[in-house]
């Protein structure tokens, strides 16, 4: 098995983690979290956001060697706040 992720795997990973971030944000904003679990759920969101940023960094590097890949903005549908540096 190759140690390097394929570009397709990387793109789907970014999209999946982005969806996880969005779901977690919605959950945190829903007011449905039991009192003692808010901090834990916020930590999960932070971990997901960190994972997304790391995947985006890897994707940007990959785009330099594979210019035919869509830009991160196009991949995320133009909603990439994580892309701003």
CA-nearest of 47, 50, 23, 27 to 37 is 27
Q: Is residue 44 part of a domain?
A: yes
Domain count across the chain: 1
- pLDDT band per the 50, 70, 90 thresholds, residue 79: low
Q: Is residue 64 part of a domain?
A: yes
4-45 tens-digit pLDDT: 889 999 999 999 999 999 999 999 999 999 989 999 999 999
Q: Is residue 13 part of a domain?
A: yes
Q: Are 25 and 45 in contact (CB under 8 A)?
A: yes
On the question of pLDDT at 83 being above 50, the answer is: no
Q: Is residue 82 part of a domain?
A: no
38-75 tens-digit pLDDT: 999 999 999 999 999 999 999 999 999 999 999 999 99
Q: Is residue 53 part of a domain?
A: yes
The two three-digit tokens of residue 27, written as one number: 């959950």
Q: Is residue 37 part of a domain?
A: yes
Residue 44 lies in domain: 7-75
């Amino acid at each position: 098995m190759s140690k390097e992720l394929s570009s397709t795997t990387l793109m789907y990973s970014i999209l999946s983690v982005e969806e996880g971030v969005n779901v977690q944000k919605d959950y945190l904003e829903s007011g449905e979290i039991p009192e003692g679990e808010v901090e834990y759920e916020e930590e999960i969101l932070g971990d997901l956001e960190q994972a997304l940023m790391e995947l985006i960094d890897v994707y940007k590097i990959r785009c330099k060697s594979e210019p035919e890949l869509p830009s991160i903005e196009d991949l995320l549908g133009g909603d990439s706040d994580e892309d701003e540096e």
